[in-house]
Amino acid sequence: MPGPRRTDPPSLAATLGLSPVQARAAQGALRAVVEADGPPRAAGVRLLATAARALELGEAEVPAAAPGAVRDAVTTPAMRRGLVDALLIAACIEGEVTAAGEAAVRSFARALGVRSPWVDVLGPLRRRRAFAVKRRLVARSPDARRLFARIWAEEGLVGIWRAVRFVLGRFTDPATAARFRALGALPPGTYGRMLFDHHVARGLAFPGEPGGMPERMIHHDLMHVANGYGTDPAGECELAGFYAAFCPGDAFTFIATALATFHLGLPVSPAVVTPARGAFDPQRVLAGYLRGRRLRVDVTGPWDYWSLLPLPIEEARDRLGIAAATG
């Protein structure tokens, strides 16, 4: 029997194992980047407030920190890399990357001895060079890498040929499409019926239909439904935070993609995705990240989601180890 569903995830500080000194250093670094061009605007203020709560820093305002002080407080390579990556959010949060913001992130990366690909993407983001950003995102994408690795391992050349036909818009699989269409006969409130309704309400093709995504990528819509996230830009940012918590490889790619596409408005995602500006809400993305840390199932791998689809959505969530979105 599934245990009770946890609805109050631990703080970010507890999740990452940060000491109070390390939490203050992280907040000080975020502030230094946000304030690189002067006092923060509304979006920067929201980011700093969200981070302060997540890092359990209380009401007192943490001042901007110098790179050397942060280096002395944050000593492990993993924590240093995670902090430098997070500074990309601070550099983008007010809707544009400035030269001062980019320089601030670079100064922290140098002091911490971190070589992160996301530091180098700041220049193209600042100059709004969409193709250069897109090329870096595709090269780092853990989802795409794992997808093609699974296709090769499970189907070999036949699978690769099917993938090519999908890209060209020429692959269909009527049997798979019929199986997904049959989910419409499930009772309302079941996971499968909610997936069916999710597709129909949005005019989305099912796997196996023309324009439908490959079945191995259906986890994206399954996680939209399980988490209760919308498919608007803000909902896609939440889902990016969720995936960033558990996906193997360079999972920060999900955050970088959301920032570029839905916060800076760059056309770096597939053509069917419409860019937007200002949709990255730090509090909602953080909530998605903390929910993703509790996931019990490797949803980007070969998991048996068909066994969950007939279940009531609450039971399916329990088995996955996640809670519905709130707020």
Q: How far is the first Cα of the chain from the last one, in angstroms, to the nearest whole number? A: 28
pLDDT at 3: 39
Return the C-alpha torsion angle 23, 103, 64, 30, nearest 10: -40
What type of residue sits at position 23? A
pLDDT at 154: 66
pLDDT at 97: 98
**Residue 53, number of CB atoms within 10 A of its CB:** 15
pTM of the model: 0.89
- How much is the average pLDDT of 207-223? 90
Tokens matching residue 19 = 């000491």
Domains assigned to the chain: 12-127 (1.10.3680), 142-320 (no CATH)
- How much is the average pLDDT of 271-279? 90
Confidence bin at 59 (pLDDT 50/70/90): confident
Confidence bin at 150 (pLDDT 50/70/90): low
Confidence bin at 1 (pLDDT 50/70/90): very low
Number of helices (H), then strands (E), in the chain: 17, 0
**Residue 55 reports pLDDT greater than 60:** yes
**Residue 115, number of CB atoms within 10 A of its CB:** 11
**Residue 90 reports pLDDT greater than 90:** yes
**Residue 152 reports pLDDT greater than 80:** no
More confidently predicted of 154 and 3: 154
pLDDT at 323: 76
Confidence bin at 63 (pLDDT 50/70/90): very high
pLDDT digits (tens, 9 = 90+) for 94-146: 999 999 999 999 999 999 999 999 999 999 999 999 999 999 998 887 766 55
12 to 26, 58, 261: CA distances (angstroms): 12, 14, 25
10 in the Ramachandran plot: left (φ > 0), alpha (ψ -120 to 50) or beta? beta
pLDDT at 149: 61
pLDDT digits (tens, 9 = 90+) for 229-251: 999 999 999 999 999 999 888 99
Confidence bin at 217 (pLDDT 50/70/90): confident
**pLDDT above 90: percentage of residues in the chain:** 78
**Residue 57 reports pLDDT greater than 70:** yes
Phi, psi of 229, deg, nearest 5? -85, 140
Least confident of 100-104, 146-150, 171-175: 146-150
Distance (Å, whole) CA 112 – CA 171: 48
| Dihedral of alpha carbons 23, 27, 29, 30, sign | positive
**Residue 299, number of CB atoms within 10 A of its CB:** 21
Phi, psi of 123, deg, nearest 5? -60, -55
Average pLDDT score, the chain: 90
Distance (Å, whole) CA 295 – CA 281: 22
